[in-house]
Amino acid sequence: MSLLSFLDYASVAIFALTGALVASRAQLDIVGFAFIACLTAVGGGTLRDVMLDRNPLFWMGNPNYILIACAAALLIFFTAHLVESRYRWLLWLDSFALAVAVPAGVGAAIQMHQPALIVVLMGVVTGCMGGLMRDVVVGEVPLVLRQGELYVSAAFAGALAGVILSTLIAPGPALLACAGVTWAMRAGSLLFGWRLPVYKARPPKN
């Protein structure tokens, strides 16, 4: 299995778990679990493939991705009640999913010889859009838009690191470094409260 295939599989599996956890918090039925899990698992990668004009879409070329997402949904459906803090599990699983999805997007764009800016954007899209779709569909404030949290910025920094390093070292280590930078920034936001400045409106002076 190639590194890119592994990253796609890992991204699908972990994002599917987060989708199912969100479905459990929304108290959906088993079909809702499968739908949210699949949407989260393949949403970012699908948008990436559409924008890059990859044919077929990664999960249409290999339906095992959908089967993995459905299996993750079933697992959470029958075990979510055993978890003491589903939201905490959601945050940390989502951070790992982000850290594998961003290099998956970067690697796919590099493989298609896209310019650096597009490579970075594809990393961000792959990492962020599945979770955004998940949260919007169930009516939660998207994690990617939480005030000041390092989420999109973590994806951007990781993707940028991957692009820069890919010009200096082999693609494999560059993608691993991309994953490391992404996760370190996201984990730092969760553990230590790292934040970006948030806009605060001030009344006009007289």
**In which band, very low, low, confident or very high, does the pLDDT at 203 lie, cut at 50, 70 and 90?**
low
8 A C-beta contact, residue 37 and residue 20: yes
Percent of the chain at pLDDT > 90 equals 84
Residue 158 burial by Cβ neighbours in a 10 Å radius (0-12, 13-18, 19+): buried
Range name among 49-58, 142-151, 163-172, 179-188 with the lowest pLDDT average: 142-151
103-144 pLDDT per residue, tens: 999 999 999 999 999 999 999 999 999 999 999 999 988 988
What confidence score (pLDDT) does residue 202 get?
Answer: 72
Mean pLDDT across 156-176 = 96
pLDDT mean over 71-93:
92
- Determine the pLDDT at residue 41: 97
> What's the confidence (pLDDT) of residue 130?
96
> So what's the pLDDT on residue 146?
84
pLDDT at 147: 76
Q: Residue 180 half-sphere exposure, CB side, CA atoms within 13 Å?
A: 9
Q: Model's pTM, two decimal places?
A: 0.93
Longest pairwise C-alpha distance within the chain: 66
What pLDDT does 54 receive? 93
pLDDT at 205 over 70: no
What rounded mean pLDDT belongs to the chain?
A: 94
**Within 10 A of 42 (CB to CB), how many other CB atoms are there?**
26
